[in-house]
Structure 1
């Protein structure tokens, strides 16, 4: 009887293994992982030279991992087992925090002080520019009480206090405003960005700081109820509800155009709705990341603004576009020209540095402002 059971187990195991292998062979390779938002390794071309160098085996190993059938389901199952049976409270640096996914934030970052110095260097080189910095706390600071018990977390308020003390330009601290509205939908629950509502509150704070009148008359439209963000992809917790994306449309008739990079392409309006059918839905705001993005509006007041930024600026810009005729956004991670020359050529007189604290502490490219002239 035991022999029969053992045979059944062995046969079942072999059928499973060979069946899975067969499915892997006949299943068409995927080019992009929607859940990870990245291109997948394709079958590498073989040559003896590449085999000897190790490049072929390295790429083939990555190909097998990327193209493994039902990979996302297996990864999700692994995460479920770890949470249910081992009480695991985090995965890939993301905490399971009640109804939110929150990043592990345990240090200011190796470039935090250096980037404050880079901004001060910018101010020394362009003292006549009206310069302001906004460093936005991430959701883990606003919702610390949701973290698992004893989860280590660095106090982002200390970072904001250091910026307030050390920066020689105007500094807008958004913590108080965001914390006042923490019971509202100001951060996505599955993504690392703030929502348009969070950006809207800080926009009003910035306009007050600049002694400008904020534009307040918007029609709010929910354009997606199926947004799963970067934390969702990292945590592999597939039981969370998706986020919503809201867009604020001005009630007054205003037109916008966006150009980027070499300016051979243009987008009418502030949103590329093609992204709403993709995983990376947040890129609908001003068409996502580019080295240089230029937003022009029909607000004919001659006002120009340049923003050094990360992607937190993307859903912030549509509000600023109601106050500026032109907004030039530079992402120093990809921008390889001299930003000082660009500012002089464009005759821009106001600059905004807009980053979240996590990226500001880890971005080495902001140092370009210190090195260049």
Structure 2
């Protein structure tokens, strides 16, 4: 028995030492394709940062980000978690029917601050029609698919809180009600936090009704599956090898329409609302408009003189291909990267309609709506 214990200790020490050597010898990676985010570089060393504890905290993040073969080890962890009947891995719940869900935390003061930022914007844009669409994530639509005793706050309550707090002339679009009514359709990805094009179409119809415009029938689009191997942000966190990939569909107009897409003031241009090259990458959701940009301008051949400005997160990317068939010009602004005086921009561009499109989980933590207060 003693000899066996000694062998096990030696094997374990060699294993740990081998992993440590691999981490020391491996080159740091600047970006994770699996998680679609930049990875932490080795933090700067200073006496102040050491004494404050900031350096130690950053080193922990760095080691976690740069851990060699991280996807392999987290997949083993996910499998082990399920074997011992754990409900989640890295904060992502294992739901029924292959769904993954991320817990919605009770909103903090940031949500209230964002409501105030919209109110300030409304004060400066009187006479402009402003609409708000705060979308729930899949956890609000499919609570019946959550594991037993899973804890999550109410996204519906958070949306209602924003609608009650925002002061000024704004029309709220009931995306939650429309999505719940269509929950039997494939309106959310299983492995990602976004809605699908089917979910975006449901929200589009609700938006058109609120904006006093007639939505296009689904029969006016050819629905085509363009990917069968999409794995999104929830999959990157949970890394459960037993979960199947998602499909991505696109709605292609059967009628004649053309688009001229200008990205970041001419840095690049597209004649389509889809960046097809992303289907060959991990981040396939960036198929829609090429992902996140500071500002995107879309000109269509819909010559009705209507101009729409959208303040948004990435939920808007699957929605805009429907909206673009109703407006001559659409201006998309991402406040993470664009810090202009937006009330002035609305005036200069003679915008008649403004639309806020955010998922409530992202909106509740977004620190960039403060730029609307300029």
TM-score of the alignment, normalized to the shorter chain, above 0.5: yes
Is 2:232 the partner of 1:229? yes
Change (3 A) 1:75 1:301: same
1:300-315 residue pairs with structure 2 within 5 A? 300-315=303-318
Alignment correspondent of 1:150? 149
Paired with 1:126 and 1:68, the residues of 2 have a C-alpha distance of 49
Q: Which residue does 1:185 correspond to in 2?
A: 186
* TM-aligned CA distance change 1:341 to 1:53, over 3 Å: closer
Deviates more, 1:6-15 or 1:339-348: 6-15
Match of 2:94 among 93, 96, 100: 96
- Aligned to 1:140, the other structure's residue is in SS state helix
- Summarize the Cα distance change of 1:276–1:339 in structure 2 as closer, same or farther, 3 Å threshold: same
Deviates more, 1:185-194 or 1:147-156: 147-156
Which structure has the larger Rg? 1
1:197-239 Cα deviation digits (max 9, x unpaired): 0110111121122221222311111111111111111223222
State the partner residue of 1:356. 359
Deviations 1:38-81 (A, max 9, x none): 34457899xxx889987999988766654443221112112221
Alignment gaps of 5+ in structure 2: none
Partner Cα distance (1:219, 1:12) in 2: 59
Alpha carbons of structure 1 residues 300 and 90: separation in structure 2 relative to 1, 3 Å:
same
TM-score normalised per structure 1: 0.88
Deviation at 1:3, TM superposition (A): 6.7
Give the alignment of 1:104-123 within 5 angstroms. Answer: 104-123=103-122
Partner Cα separation in structure 1 for residue 280 and residue 38 of structure 2: 17
Alpha carbons of structure 1 residues 38 and 205: separation in structure 2 relative to 1, 3 Å: closer
Give me the whole-angstrom Cα distance separating, in 1, the residues matched to 2:328 and 2:204. Answer: 17
Is the 1:190–1:229 Cα contact (8 Å) retained in structure 2? Answer: yes
**1:215-254 alignment runs, 5 A limit:** 215-216=216-217, 217-254=220-257
Q: 1:178 to 1:10 in 2, by over 3 A?
A: closer
Aligned to 2:79: 80
Measured after TM superposition, the shift of residue 263 of structure 1 is: 1.8
State the Cα deviation string for residues 239-296 of structure 1 (Å, max 9, x = none): 2111111111111121212222232211220011111111111111111111211111
**What's 1:126 paired with?**
125
Cα 1:345–1:70 shift into 2, 3 Å: same
Q: Residues 51 and 57 of structure 1 are in contact (CA less than 8 Å); yes or no, is this contact kept in structure 2?
A: no
CA separation of 1:296 and 1:184: change in aligned 2, threshold 3 A: same
| 1:34 to 2:33 alignment | yes
Q: 1:58 to 1:141 in 2, by over 3 A?
A: closer
**Aligned-partner SS, 2:109:** coil
Match of 1:204 in 2: 205
Provide the aligned length of Structure 1 versus Structure 2: 366
Q: 1:41 to 1:161 in 2, by over 3 A?
A: closer
- Larger mean Cα displacement after TM superposition, 6-15 or 127-136: 6-15
CA contact (8 A) 1:259 1:266 kept: yes
Task: Provide the residue aligned with 1:276 in structure 2.
Answer: 279
Which has the higher mean CA deviation after the structures are superposed, 115-124 or 239-248?
Answer: 115-124
Whole-angstrom CA distance in 1 between matches of 2:55 and 2:337: 29
Instruction: Quote the offset at 1:133 in angstroms.
Output: 0.8
**Aligned partners of 2:307 and 2:327 also within 8 Å:** yes
Deviates more, 1:315-324 or 1:156-165: 156-165
